[in-house]
Every structure is written in structure tokens, then in C-alpha cells.
Amino acid sequence: MRTTDGGVTMPERVEAARKTAVGAREHATGQVTMDPDEGYTVGLDSNTEMKWMLVLLARPNVAGLESQVLFEWLQPDGKVGKHFFDFRVVMNDGMRVAIMVKSEDRRNQPKVQNELADVATRVPRGFADRVLVVTERDLDPVEYFNAEMMHEMRRPDLDADAAARRLLFEIVGAVRVQDLVDAIGLGARGFRAVVRLLRSHELELTLNVRITHEAYVRRRTSK
């Protein structure tokens, strides 16, 4: 993040309940830097986890996301059981969804299914309203493509963003992305500004298609 005097501040690393296994040989690890101002980073334990984080954050009905959330319960033998949910998502309506990210291969293993089902039945409403297991097969490739593009183009461009936002009030019905870019008049900067309006949900795609110059968008009126 750049400061007002031209310096650079490194993003803050979010301290989750469980640290990610950086450098693990058996699976991919990494981190995602969030916010337009690169405010903080979140560690991730797999490529699928990274993809799901970007997809969830891009959805218009998601208000917030926590990573590596610890859930504890008392077992019959008096010991404390523990499970780390990869994400806990807060929806716009206040509902909280605890999410387990697994590979499709592991989800199909009977032992893993039984373990996940056992944990899910113990989760009280005070922790989450719903428990969900997702894998790489549940990802919509179009949704992920768009979420990744929104994340890559999240940094603001004051002039381009202001020009794009002024056009919002002139949009009636559906309009081609390229037509908006032409009206903004800043070339690639204009395209990125349109993507940021999609990211902020001020615009929405008319169809479930990849964000391209030929895609059609409209002003989003629903919340």
C-alpha cells in the first residue's frame, strides 16, 4: 500500500486460528493480498482454497469472510474436539456459513465423509447457520475467471473510476462493455474501471459469461 508521502507499507498479515503450512510438499500453499489498498494478506493451504476465497469474495450476497476458524466441542470422554473450518462466510442477510474445502477425491472417501458429517452435526447456530463442503468440482469456471479478474484489477484508478461511475446514471437496460470503455475514453484503464464496477456490484453481467469487451452489463438494482 502506498502512503501519502510516496512510501510503501507492507500489507498486514491476518492471524488466523491455525497457521498455513507454508512450503508443504504434498500440496500448494500461498497467500492472497486483499482490499484495493493491499491492506492485508490471508494464508491459504491449497489452490482450491485460494480459488474458493476469490469466488466467495466476489459474490454479491457475501458481506464478509473469515479464514481458518476454530470450532471446538466437548467429546463424551471429556476431551475437547477441534476442527478448523477453512472459511466462515457472513451473508448480506446475516446468515453465517461454515465452509470446509476438500479435494473431490477426499470428499468421496467414506471415512472423510463420516468425519465431516460428525463435525457438521455438532455445529450450533451460535457458530454457523449452515455447514457446507466444497471441492474443485463445485467451482464454476466462469465465476472463477471473473472473480480472479476482479481481484487482479481491484486497485483504484481515480480518474478512470470517476469517469466510469458517471456513466452509471446514463445506462438504460443492457450495454456492451466495449461501449462503456469507448465512452470512458481511457482505453485499457476504462476496461479495468468497468471491472471494478462489477466487483463493487454497481454493475452486473446480464448472463453468466466471462467478463470481456463483448459481454453485456447493466446497472444492478437488487441488493
- How does pLDDT run across 86-101, given as a tens digit for each residue? 999 999 999 999 999 9
Residue 191, SS3?
helix
Please say if the pLDDT value at position 179 is more than 90. Answer: yes
pLDDT the model gives residue 34: 57
Return the CATH architecture of domain 12-139.
3-Layer(aba) Sandwich (3.40)
Query: 213 pLDDT band (50/70/90 cuts)?
Result: very high
pLDDT the model gives residue 35: 56
Which residue has better confidence, 223 or 85?
85
pLDDT the model gives residue 11: 47
Percent of the chain with pLDDT strictly greater than 70: 79
DSSP state of 137: G
DSSP state of 74: E
pLDDT the model gives residue 76: 85
> Averaged over 55-67, what is the pLDDT?
93
pLDDT the model gives residue 75: 85
Which residue has better confidence, 110 or 15?
110
Torsion of CA 17, 20, 42, 85, to 10 degrees: -50
Angstrom distance (rounded) from CA 129 to CA 101: 17
Task: Round to the nearest angstrom and report the end-to-end CA distance of the chain.
Answer: 30
Whole-model pTM?
0.79
> Averaged over 187-214, what is the pLDDT?
96
- Structure-block grid coordinates of residue 120: 457438521
pLDDT the model gives residue 8: 43
Angstrom distance (rounded) from CA 223 to CA 220: 8
> Averaged over 121-143, what is the pLDDT?
94
- Structure-block grid coordinates of residue 221: 438494482
